[in-house]
Structure 1
């Protein structure tokens, strides 16, 4: 009869799913590996397997099998059964959470102690910027805000923040400075910083007044499949390249195809150590969008990036990267912005 030797942890990230090992005394058996999401069951493998000389059946590289399903649904259940001519053996169902990062600990421990971001330290933000946090297994967080009142006094205010949305067991929290200021009823004062906590999970934001509005602000899907924001305050440049194809038509030279490639070069501005490590998540992201006027804008593609960090005492990292529109047509109109030097990723103060 088939026996189970080892299986993945009952909760694991899609980036690290351990091998499944069965043992059998039979010459062969049928292995069925299934992905379950909600009420839907998808058979990924259903094949006859033949054991090695020691009688073992090893299913390796399970991560690559479950990753597409975890990426689509964020959380799936993995089931696997091996049946030989004497009976069947099955793994205990495994909950697989989407992640493309080596977090250095178990998935259970990570989600109990971290929000779903690789940021491990303070994040710098400012009024008007969008910020979000995600967590499994909770629908409420505690916000502790550091405030300078209108009278010039410094105090601390606390409030409970409910999730903006919950899908399955994954909750999204809108933790933008403007949202926090409204939550605590701040009027006439200044928000200096705030800490968001849920159990052992903790994220601190330091709030400064923007001297120059971000250009651009980008929404990207991070290593855990969640949306985060990076607000660039360094130099922003725009350049268009044109590929022209021409021919003589009726004895006259004509351009019959002109293809524009509009490229933007952005700079994050100076980052603290934690944010410098975190910014690389933008460069490895497969989904990036402009964030314009408080809403998701056009999809863009990061085509080049330079991120270097040194251990020098005076190191102040600032990363430069190039992106362009994902759409084919780069001749993008900016209604109501005639005469402006730049497009709508820039504030009017640039003109």
Structure 2
């Protein structure tokens, strides 16, 4: 008979499953990991230690590849022909300070728990695991034309991906902009005990580019790079003597970009590391959807704890497509930005 030694919980991060220990009375045992549909993902024969303990390593990597984005994977482990435990897993390759059973019911699925900076023209999305079905509310703060703070409530927001276990919400400031009330200066998103605050900047630096990517929880996250952007073009030429002439017979052109966040607030180092480790990075389109896929080739996300440090991070990237785009037709001049329609253009 087998029994668990490691404490498991009904909901866990994959990083909590780097090793699982169980004990058995038999001289050899078969350990199995089953998926949600009963498929056997792992089946291995183990020989226990002298005290009957078996330690299984690396289940986190196997589980991460078996879970679809915006959902939890449901698994069960078996030994000696018996079911030891059934649990749900959210892919997370980083070690979180608190277990998933606490974090998921107290926080949104983002690594930035501090107040974040945004602007009216920026797309912001926020994901949450909400099995309780609690409403997601937004509280917007305005500075009216007499210098007073006015607060408005926007209750029960609708997710942009209904029908999934992890709901994603569009919390872009433009959705809560109200010139009749005043200038939007901040929003707070709440879902039960979960809170996420945004400071709305009236005159932000121009971003180039804006990126949308899968964060460490497999959820969509946006980042706006407002610092210096460099463009470099590399050519790889292959040449040979052909018909008595030394000519190029093949040429490969690769355009690489290096963009900086510019000065950012405390806590954005986690967001920068999320982008650096992400496998799914796209240019952000104006409607908030992923555009051209890009590949991060290098990054500088170094920081320190000096009192006078101003955090800034940079990323080198290229388009994932084999064909690089070198010419982009300019957009027609507009009097107003994209938050307005084309009525008076």
**TM-score, normalised to structure 1's length?**
0.85
Query: Which of residues 11, 25, 48 is equivalent to 1:51?
Result: 48
Aligned to 1:346: none
Q: Confirm or deny that 1:213 pairs with 2:211.
A: no
How big is each residue's C-alpha offset from its partner over 1:111-163, in whole Å with a ceiling of 9 and x where there is no partner?
11111111020110001111111111146311111112356543111111222
Partners of 1:225 and 1:300 in 2: CA distance: 17
2:26 matched to 1:31? no
Distance 1:116 1:251 in 2: 64
Alpha-carbon shift at residue 105 of structure 1 (Å)? 1.0
Distance 1:233 1:220 in 2: 17
- Asked if the contact 1:139/1:166 (under 8 Å) is kept, the reply is no
Deviations 1:217-267 (A, max 9, x none): 011111000111111111112121111111222222322111111011111
The 1:196/1:54 distance shift into structure 2, 3 A limit, reads: same
Query: Relative to 1, partners in 2 of residues 1:253 and 1:169: Cα closer, same or farther, differing over 3 Å?
Result: same
- Which SS does the other structure have where 1:120 is aligned? coil
2:169 corresponds in structure 1 to 173
Q: Retained in 2: the 8 A contact 1:122–1:275?
A: no
Deviates more, 1:159-168 or 1:253-262: 159-168
Mapped to 1, the partners of 2:326 and 2:320 lie a distance apart of 12
Quick one: distance in 2 between partners of 1:150 and 1:124? Answer: 23
User: SS of the counterpart of 1:147?
Assistant: strand
1:79 to 76, 84, 95: 76
Provide the residue aligned with 1:157 in structure 2: 152
Counterpart CA distance in 2 for 1:202 and 1:219 is 22
Where does residue 3 of structure 2 map in the other structure? 4
Match of 2:117 among 124, 140, 149: 124
The alpha-carbon deviation at position 337 of structure 1 amounts to 5.5
1:323 corresponds in structure 2 to: 317
**1:280 corresponds to which of 260, 273, 298:** 273
Gaps of at least 5 residues in structure 1 are: 339-351
* 2:136 paired residue number: 141
Distance 1:310 1:31 in 2: 44
Cα RMSD of the aligned pairs, angstroms, is 2.2
The residue number in structure 2 matching 1:300 is 294
Structure 1 residues 29, 107: closer, same or farther in 2, change over 3 A? same
* Counterpart Cα distance in 1 of 2:95 and 2:250: 47
**Counterparts of 1:172 and 1:143 in 2: how far apart (Å)?**
14
Q: Cα 1:210–1:19, aligned 2, differ >3 Å: closer, same or farther?
A: same
1:220 is paired with a residue of what secondary structure? strand
Going from structure 1 to structure 2, the CA distance change for 1:203 and 1:234 (only over 3 Å counts) comes to same
Where does structure 2 lack aligned partners over 5 or more consecutive residues? 333-345
How far, CA to CA, are the matches of 2:224 and 2:276 in structure 1? 14
Change (3 A) 1:22 1:326: same
1:222 equivalent to 2:234? Answer no
Q: Is the 8 A contact 2:33 2:40 kept in 1?
A: yes
Counterpart residue number, 2:20 = 19
1:290 and 2:283 are equivalent in the alignment? yes
